[in-house]
Chains A and B, each alone.
Chain A
Amino acid sequence: LAKTTQPISMDSYEGQEVNITCSHNNIATNDYITWYQQFPSQGPRFIIQGYKTKVTNEVASLFIPADRKSSTLSLPRVSLSDTAVYYCLVGSPYTGGFKTIFGAGTRLFVKA
């Protein structure tokens, strides 16, 4: 399993774009990058998954450079309700990947 490294915490203001970067230097060829969001006392919620370049959905965008050794979760125009912990995971959805390591995540605090 590829190890991931994220900032422990980040602060932002409402309406700003927030970018959270995750490092995964040992990512394998078949690995995808997955991001989850977790509010206090709730289970994590899947946000987005990608393999390379850029993926966008109604919630976020995921940018993955060509070497795939890092990825950036981009949250456009955050609101107070985006205050949460964000986790980056790396693994192959199609081969292996049964053990899951969440790590400590990035605590995002959005201020008014």
Chain B
Amino acid sequence: EAQVTQNPRYLITVTGKKLTVTCSQNMNHEYMSWYRQDPGLGLRQIYYSMNVEVTDKGDVPEGYKVSRKEKRNFPLILESPSPNQTSLYFCASSSSNGAQPQHFGDGTRLSIL
């Protein structure tokens, strides 16, 4: 079954404690992306990756890092999380770029105290 898998689904942590949210897809997609969703602000793109070792900033990259060492994985790293990064995060993938239909994961709800 075609899937985008995010882990963890829920996390409560404290300010400054580094965390990683993993994302994996099994569709051999080239394009992967991270979004955050906050009430009233819709979905905003954090980072995207066009292929292995190729990443670029979306609209809200501050405070986040990503890496794409393998095609299937695209982890989101918060080196020093802060309360304003409390949000619902989604990972997505598509065959070639963001205009191709994107498959989304189930989301990760992060609470940073």
Nearest Cβ on chain A to B26's Cβ, whole angstroms: 16
Contacts A97-B97, A99-B45, A103-B42; A43 near B105 (Cβ below 8 A) = yes
Count A-B contacts at CB 8 Å.
Answer: 78
Known: A98-B31, A98-B50, A100-B48. Contact between A44 and B99, CB under 8 A?
A: no
Whether the Cβ atoms of B103 and A46 lie closer than 8 Å is yes
Find out whether the CB atom of B90 lies under 8 angstroms from the CB atom of A43: yes
Contact A89 B42 (CB under 8 A): no
A5 at the interface (CB under 8 A from B): no
Q: B58 contacts A99, CB within 8 Å?
A: yes
Chain B residues positioned under 8 Å from A10 (CB to CB): none
Distance, CA A87 to CA B58, complexed state (A): 18
A101 contacts B104, CB within 8 Å?
Answer: no
B100 in the interface, Cβ–Cβ < 8 Å? yes
Query: Which residues in B have some Cβ–Cβ distance to A below 8 Å?
Result: 4, 31, 33, 35, 40-45, 48, 50, 56, 58-59, 88, 90, 92, 96-107, 109
Nearest 7 CB-CB pairs, A to B?
A: A43-B104, A91-B99, A97-B99, A100-B98, A46-B101, A102-B43, A93-B99
